Protein backbone atom coordinates (compact mmCIF):
# COMPACT_ATOMS: atom_id res chain seq x y z
CA UNK A 1 0.00 0.00 0.00
CA UNK A 2 1.42 3.38 -0.94
CA UNK A 3 1.66 5.92 1.86
CA UNK A 4 -0.75 8.86 1.73
CA UNK A 5 0.62 12.30 1.06
CA UNK A 6 1.82 14.07 4.21
CA UNK A 7 -0.51 16.95 3.41
CA UNK A 8 -3.54 14.76 2.69
CA UNK A 9 -5.75 15.13 5.76
CA UNK A 10 -8.72 13.33 4.25
CA UNK A 11 -7.50 9.89 3.20
CA UNK A 12 -8.35 6.78 5.19
CA UNK A 13 -5.37 5.32 7.01
CA UNK A 14 -4.51 1.73 7.76
CA UNK A 15 -2.68 1.83 11.08
CA UNK A 16 -0.87 -0.91 12.97
CA UNK A 17 -1.54 -0.33 16.66
CA UNK A 18 1.33 -1.88 18.60
CA UNK A 19 0.18 -2.94 22.06
CA UNK A 20 1.55 -4.68 25.13
CA UNK A 21 5.32 -5.10 25.09
CA UNK A 22 7.95 -6.79 27.22
CA UNK A 23 8.15 -4.19 29.98
CA UNK A 24 6.44 -4.09 33.37
CA UNK A 25 4.02 -1.58 31.81
CA UNK A 26 2.50 -4.25 29.53
CA UNK A 27 -1.02 -3.97 30.91
CA UNK A 28 -0.97 -0.16 30.90
CA UNK A 29 0.04 -0.32 27.24
CA UNK A 30 -2.88 -2.61 26.39
CA UNK A 31 -5.30 -0.04 27.84
CA UNK A 32 -3.65 2.85 25.99
CA UNK A 33 -3.55 0.94 22.71
CA UNK A 34 -7.20 -0.06 22.99
CA UNK A 35 -8.14 3.60 23.32
CA UNK A 36 -5.98 4.54 20.32
CA UNK A 37 -7.67 1.85 18.25
CA UNK A 38 -11.10 3.18 19.22
CA UNK A 39 -10.00 6.73 18.40
CA UNK A 40 -8.85 5.67 14.95
CA UNK A 41 -12.10 3.82 14.27
CA UNK A 42 -14.08 6.88 15.37
CA UNK A 43 -12.30 8.90 12.65
CA UNK A 44 -13.06 6.28 10.00
CA UNK A 45 -9.59 4.70 9.83
CA UNK A 46 -8.63 1.03 9.86
CA UNK A 47 -6.80 -0.26 12.93
CA UNK A 48 -4.70 -3.44 12.74
CA UNK A 49 -4.07 -4.79 16.24
CA UNK A 50 -0.53 -6.09 16.76
CA UNK A 51 0.13 -7.37 20.25
CA UNK A 52 3.70 -7.62 21.52
CA UNK A 53 3.77 -10.40 24.09
CA UNK A 54 5.74 -10.43 27.29
CA UNK A 55 8.01 -12.86 25.46
CA UNK A 56 8.71 -10.17 22.85
CA UNK A 57 6.89 -11.96 20.01
CA UNK A 58 4.63 -9.90 17.73
CA UNK A 59 1.25 -11.43 16.94
CA UNK A 60 -1.59 -10.03 14.88
CA UNK A 61 -4.77 -9.80 16.98
CA UNK A 62 -2.77 -11.11 19.93
CA UNK A 63 -3.14 -14.75 18.89
CA UNK A 64 -1.66 -17.35 16.57
CA UNK A 65 1.85 -17.56 15.18
CA UNK A 66 4.32 -14.72 15.70
CA UNK A 67 4.59 -12.29 12.80
CA UNK A 68 7.50 -12.67 10.43
CA UNK A 69 9.13 -9.31 9.69
CA UNK A 70 11.41 -8.59 6.73
CA UNK A 71 13.59 -5.44 6.64
CA UNK A 72 12.44 -3.01 3.98
CA UNK A 73 9.16 -4.82 3.37
CA UNK A 74 6.81 -2.90 5.65
CA UNK A 75 4.34 -4.25 8.20
CA UNK A 76 1.06 -5.90 7.19
CA UNK A 77 0.57 -3.39 4.38
CA UNK A 78 -0.15 -0.52 6.79
CA UNK A 79 0.43 3.17 6.14
CA UNK A 80 2.09 3.60 9.50
CA UNK A 81 2.48 2.14 12.99
CA UNK A 82 1.30 3.67 16.25
CA UNK A 83 3.65 2.14 18.87
CA UNK A 84 1.56 2.54 22.01
CA UNK A 85 4.28 0.83 24.04
CA UNK A 86 5.41 2.12 27.41
CA UNK A 87 8.80 1.51 28.99
CA UNK A 88 11.69 -0.58 27.79
CA UNK A 89 11.57 -2.44 24.47
CA UNK A 90 8.99 0.01 23.16
CA UNK A 91 9.56 3.57 24.29
CA UNK A 92 13.35 3.43 24.39
CA UNK A 93 14.23 3.52 20.68
CA UNK A 94 14.35 -0.24 20.12
CA UNK A 95 10.96 -0.57 18.39
CA UNK A 96 11.53 2.75 16.63
CA UNK A 97 14.75 1.31 15.18
CA UNK A 98 12.93 -1.82 14.06
CA UNK A 99 10.25 0.25 12.33
CA UNK A 100 12.98 2.26 10.60
CA UNK A 101 14.49 -1.01 9.30
CA UNK A 102 11.05 -2.12 8.08
CA UNK A 103 10.67 1.27 6.34
CA UNK A 104 7.38 1.96 8.14
CA UNK A 105 6.26 5.43 9.18
CA UNK A 106 5.40 5.66 12.88
CA UNK A 107 3.99 7.96 15.51
CA UNK A 108 6.23 9.72 18.00
CA UNK A 109 9.89 10.45 18.52
CA UNK A 110 12.67 8.79 16.59
CA UNK A 111 15.36 6.39 17.76
CA UNK A 112 17.77 8.85 19.39
CA UNK A 113 15.20 11.01 21.18
CA UNK A 114 13.29 7.96 22.42
CA UNK A 115 16.45 6.38 23.84
CA UNK A 116 17.62 9.64 25.39
CA UNK A 117 14.35 10.46 27.15
CA UNK A 118 13.90 6.90 28.39
CA UNK A 119 17.16 7.24 30.32
CA UNK A 120 16.32 9.67 33.14
CA UNK A 121 20.00 10.37 33.82
CA UNK A 122 20.97 11.07 30.21
CA UNK A 123 17.95 13.32 29.82
CA UNK A 124 18.94 15.35 32.89
CA UNK A 125 22.54 15.57 31.71
CA UNK A 126 21.45 16.96 28.36
CA UNK A 127 19.09 19.45 29.97
CA UNK A 128 21.91 20.55 32.32
CA UNK A 129 24.21 21.07 29.34
CA UNK A 130 21.79 23.58 27.83
CA UNK A 131 22.33 25.93 30.74
CA UNK A 132 18.77 27.24 30.43
CA UNK A 133 16.60 24.44 31.88
CA UNK A 134 16.41 24.28 35.71
CA UNK A 135 16.03 20.84 37.23
CA UNK A 136 15.74 18.87 40.44
CA UNK A 137 19.13 17.99 41.98
CA UNK A 138 20.09 14.35 41.43
CA UNK A 139 22.81 11.69 41.70
CA UNK A 140 23.60 9.11 39.01
CA UNK A 141 23.92 5.71 40.74
CA UNK A 142 25.25 2.75 38.78
CA UNK A 143 25.20 -0.80 40.10
CA UNK A 144 28.84 -1.48 39.22
CA UNK A 145 29.99 1.77 40.83
CA UNK A 146 27.95 1.08 43.95
CA UNK A 147 29.55 -2.36 44.25
CA UNK A 148 33.03 -0.81 44.14
CA UNK A 149 32.55 2.53 45.94
CA UNK A 150 29.35 2.39 47.94
CA UNK A 151 30.57 4.75 50.68
CA UNK A 152 31.46 7.45 48.14
CA UNK A 153 28.12 7.12 46.36
CA UNK A 154 26.15 7.22 49.60
CA UNK A 155 28.00 10.41 50.57
CA UNK A 156 26.97 12.03 47.27
CA UNK A 157 23.38 11.05 47.92
CA UNK A 158 23.54 12.37 51.50
CA UNK A 159 24.46 15.78 50.11
CA UNK A 160 20.99 15.94 48.49
CA UNK A 161 19.38 15.90 51.91
CA UNK A 162 16.33 13.87 52.92
CA UNK A 163 13.92 12.72 51.75
CA UNK A 164 15.10 11.49 48.35
CA UNK A 165 13.45 9.42 45.64
CA UNK A 166 15.25 6.35 44.31
CA UNK A 167 14.19 5.42 40.78
CA UNK A 168 15.22 2.89 38.13
CA UNK A 169 16.59 5.07 35.32
CA UNK A 170 14.78 3.35 32.45
CA UNK A 171 11.30 2.61 33.79
CA UNK A 172 8.10 4.63 33.60
CA UNK A 173 4.71 4.70 35.34
CA UNK A 174 6.52 5.16 38.68
CA UNK A 175 7.50 1.47 38.69
CA UNK A 176 10.16 0.65 41.28
CA UNK A 177 10.26 4.13 42.86
CA UNK A 178 10.91 4.38 46.61
CA UNK A 179 10.79 7.47 48.83
CA UNK A 180 13.57 7.34 51.42
CA UNK A 181 13.29 9.41 54.59
CA UNK A 182 15.92 7.57 56.65
CA UNK A 183 19.55 7.39 55.46
CA UNK A 184 19.83 3.87 56.87
CA UNK A 185 17.23 2.72 54.32
CA UNK A 186 19.19 3.98 51.31
CA UNK A 187 21.17 0.76 50.65
CA UNK A 188 17.96 -1.26 50.71
CA UNK A 189 16.25 1.19 48.33
CA UNK A 190 19.19 1.14 45.93
CA UNK A 191 19.35 -2.66 45.91
CA UNK A 192 15.62 -2.76 45.20
CA UNK A 193 15.97 -0.36 42.28
CA UNK A 194 18.98 -2.27 40.91
CA UNK A 195 16.72 -5.32 40.62
CA UNK A 196 14.92 -3.40 37.86
CA UNK A 197 17.80 -1.51 36.29
CA UNK A 198 21.62 -1.39 36.57
CA UNK A 199 21.36 2.42 36.41
CA UNK A 200 19.42 4.27 39.09
CA UNK A 201 18.73 7.95 39.65
CA UNK A 202 18.37 9.45 43.11
CA UNK A 203 16.51 12.77 43.18
CA UNK A 204 16.19 15.39 45.87
CA UNK A 205 12.80 16.27 47.27
CA UNK A 206 11.38 19.26 45.41
CA UNK A 207 8.96 21.66 47.11
CA UNK A 208 5.78 22.86 45.50
CA UNK A 209 3.16 21.11 43.39
CA UNK A 210 3.47 18.59 40.56
CA UNK A 211 2.48 20.08 37.23
CA UNK A 212 2.33 18.39 33.83
CA UNK A 213 2.23 19.86 30.34
CA UNK A 214 1.40 18.10 27.06
CA UNK A 215 3.31 18.89 23.87
CA UNK A 216 1.90 18.18 20.40
CA UNK A 217 3.62 18.56 17.05
CA UNK A 218 2.33 20.96 14.40
CA UNK A 219 2.17 19.85 10.73
CA UNK A 220 4.56 21.81 8.52
CA UNK A 221 1.80 23.40 6.46
CA UNK A 222 0.11 24.72 9.62
CA UNK A 223 3.17 26.31 11.21
CA UNK A 224 3.17 30.08 11.62
CA UNK A 225 6.99 30.00 11.54
CA UNK A 226 9.59 27.29 10.81
CA UNK A 227 10.49 27.20 14.51
CA UNK A 228 6.85 26.65 15.59
CA UNK A 229 7.15 22.87 15.39
CA UNK A 230 4.99 22.14 18.43
CA UNK A 231 2.42 23.59 20.81
CA UNK A 232 2.20 23.24 24.59
CA UNK A 233 -1.08 22.60 26.39
CA UNK A 234 -2.60 24.39 29.31
CA UNK A 235 -0.65 23.02 32.32
CA UNK A 236 -2.44 20.72 34.75
CA UNK A 237 -1.79 20.14 38.44
CA UNK A 238 -1.59 16.65 39.93
CA UNK A 239 -3.00 15.96 43.39
CA UNK A 240 -2.93 12.53 44.99
CA UNK A 241 -3.86 10.83 48.22
CA UNK A 242 -0.63 8.90 48.76
CA UNK A 243 2.76 9.99 50.10
CA UNK A 244 3.99 10.59 46.55
CA UNK A 245 2.87 10.10 42.95
CA UNK A 246 3.49 6.35 42.75
CA UNK A 247 2.05 3.60 40.52
CA UNK A 248 -1.11 3.17 42.62
CA UNK A 249 -1.73 6.93 42.63
CA UNK A 250 -1.51 6.96 38.84
CA UNK A 251 -3.67 3.96 38.04
CA UNK A 252 -5.89 3.04 41.01
CA UNK A 253 -9.43 4.48 40.89
CA UNK A 254 -9.45 7.76 42.78
CA UNK A 255 -5.69 7.66 43.26
CA UNK A 256 -5.07 11.03 41.64
CA UNK A 257 -6.91 14.09 40.48
CA UNK A 258 -5.95 16.38 37.62
CA UNK A 259 -6.75 20.06 37.99
CA UNK A 260 -6.85 22.01 34.72
CA UNK A 261 -5.70 24.69 34.64
CA UNK A 262 -3.10 24.22 37.34
CA UNK A 263 -3.46 26.38 40.43
CA UNK A 264 -0.30 28.36 39.71
CA UNK A 265 0.30 31.96 38.67
CA UNK A 266 0.01 32.98 35.03
CA UNK A 267 3.76 33.76 34.80
CA UNK A 268 4.56 30.32 36.23
CA UNK A 269 2.15 28.67 33.76
CA UNK A 270 3.79 30.48 30.84
CA UNK A 271 7.18 29.39 32.17
CA UNK A 272 5.97 25.77 32.27
CA UNK A 273 4.77 25.94 28.67
CA UNK A 274 7.99 27.58 27.46
CA UNK A 275 10.19 25.03 29.24
CA UNK A 276 8.08 22.13 27.95
CA UNK A 277 8.66 23.29 24.37
CA UNK A 278 12.34 23.94 25.08
CA UNK A 279 12.90 20.47 26.54
CA UNK A 280 10.95 18.86 23.68
CA UNK A 281 13.09 20.64 21.07
CA UNK A 282 16.43 20.16 22.86
CA UNK A 283 15.83 16.42 23.18
CA UNK A 284 14.94 16.15 19.49
CA UNK A 285 11.42 14.89 20.19
CA UNK A 286 8.70 14.67 17.56
CA UNK A 287 4.95 14.15 17.59
CA UNK A 288 4.12 14.19 21.27
CA UNK A 289 5.46 14.26 24.80
CA UNK A 290 4.38 14.96 28.34
CA UNK A 291 6.77 17.08 30.39
CA UNK A 292 6.59 16.92 34.18
CA UNK A 293 7.48 19.78 36.53
CA UNK A 294 7.66 20.89 40.13
CA UNK A 295 6.36 24.42 40.65
CA UNK A 296 6.95 26.33 43.88
CA UNK A 297 5.38 29.78 43.49
CA UNK A 298 7.39 31.28 40.62
CA UNK A 299 10.16 28.65 40.69
CA UNK A 300 9.71 26.04 37.95
CA UNK A 301 11.84 22.88 37.75
CA UNK A 302 11.75 20.30 34.94
CA UNK A 303 11.57 16.74 36.26
CA UNK A 304 11.31 14.44 33.24
CA UNK A 305 9.91 13.99 29.73
CA UNK A 306 7.80 11.03 28.59
CA UNK A 307 7.72 10.37 24.84
CA UNK A 308 4.75 7.96 24.99
CA UNK A 309 2.67 8.83 28.05
CA UNK A 310 -0.43 6.95 29.11
CA UNK A 311 -2.85 7.35 26.22
CA UNK A 312 -6.41 6.59 27.23
CA UNK A 313 -8.97 9.42 26.95
CA UNK A 314 -8.80 9.74 30.76
CA UNK A 315 -4.99 9.84 30.88
CA UNK A 316 -3.31 13.12 31.78
CA UNK A 317 -1.93 13.76 28.29
CA UNK A 318 -5.30 13.41 26.55
CA UNK A 319 -7.09 15.46 29.22
CA UNK A 320 -4.56 18.29 28.85
CA UNK A 321 -4.96 18.31 25.08
CA UNK A 322 -8.76 18.23 25.38
CA UNK A 323 -8.60 21.25 27.70
CA UNK A 324 -6.50 22.93 24.99
CA UNK A 325 -9.10 22.26 22.30
CA UNK A 326 -7.97 18.94 20.77
CA UNK A 327 -10.46 16.08 21.19
CA UNK A 328 -9.14 12.52 21.53
CA UNK A 329 -10.02 11.10 18.07
CA UNK A 330 -8.63 14.25 16.42
CA UNK A 331 -5.48 13.93 18.53
CA UNK A 332 -4.89 10.33 17.45
CA UNK A 333 -5.39 11.18 13.78
CA UNK A 334 -3.14 14.23 13.95
CA UNK A 335 -0.32 12.17 15.42
CA UNK A 336 -0.66 9.70 12.56
CA UNK A 337 -0.49 12.50 9.97
CA UNK A 338 2.63 13.84 11.68
CA UNK A 339 4.25 10.40 11.52
CA UNK A 340 3.56 10.12 7.80
CA UNK A 341 4.83 13.66 7.24
CA UNK A 342 8.12 12.88 8.97
CA UNK A 343 8.57 9.64 7.04
CA UNK A 344 8.03 11.46 3.73
CA UNK A 345 10.52 14.16 4.74
CA UNK A 346 13.13 11.54 5.65
CA UNK A 347 12.76 9.90 2.24
CA UNK A 348 13.59 13.21 0.58
CA UNK A 349 17.15 12.99 1.93
CA UNK A 350 20.03 10.89 0.63
CA UNK A 351 21.36 8.42 3.21
Q: Which of 304, 317, 328, 339 is catalytic?
A: 304
List the catalytic residue out of 32, 109, 173, 233: 173
- Known catalytic residue: 51? no
Distance of CA 202 to the CA centre of its chain: 20
Contact 108, 288 (CB under 8 A): yes
Q: Is 286 a catalytic residue?
A: no
Taking the mean position of all CA atoms in its chain, how far away is CA 270?
A: 22
DSSP β-ladder status, 164-168 and 199-204: antiparallel
- Active-site residue, from 79, 212, 237, 292: 292
Among 88, 271, 282, 290, which one carries the catalytic annotation? 290
Known active-site residue 173: yes
Q: Which of 25, 119, 203, 341 is catalytic?
A: 25
Can 304 be counted among the known catalytic residues?
A: yes
Q: Could you say which of 143, 220, 251, 270 is catalytic?
A: 251
Among residues 217, 236, 287, 310, the one annotated as catalytic is: 310
Dihedral pair phi/psi, residue 156, rounded to 5°: -60, -40
Catalytic residue selected from 23, 306, 337, 339? 306
d(CA 215, CA 213): 7
- Annotated active-site residue 290? The verdict is yes
310 catalytic, yes or no? yes
* Active site positions, annotated: 25, 173, 251, 290, 292, 304, 306, 310
Amino acid sequence: MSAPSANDASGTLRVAVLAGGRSSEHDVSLSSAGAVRDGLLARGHEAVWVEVGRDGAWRRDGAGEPLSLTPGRGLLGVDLAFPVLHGRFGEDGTVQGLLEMLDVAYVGSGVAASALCMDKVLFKELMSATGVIPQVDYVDAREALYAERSVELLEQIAALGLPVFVKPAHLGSSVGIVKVTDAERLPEALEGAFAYDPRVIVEAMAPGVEVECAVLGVPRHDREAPSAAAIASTPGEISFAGDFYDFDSKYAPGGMELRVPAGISEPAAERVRALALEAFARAGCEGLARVDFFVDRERVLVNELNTMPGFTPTSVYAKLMLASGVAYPELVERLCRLGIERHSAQRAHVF
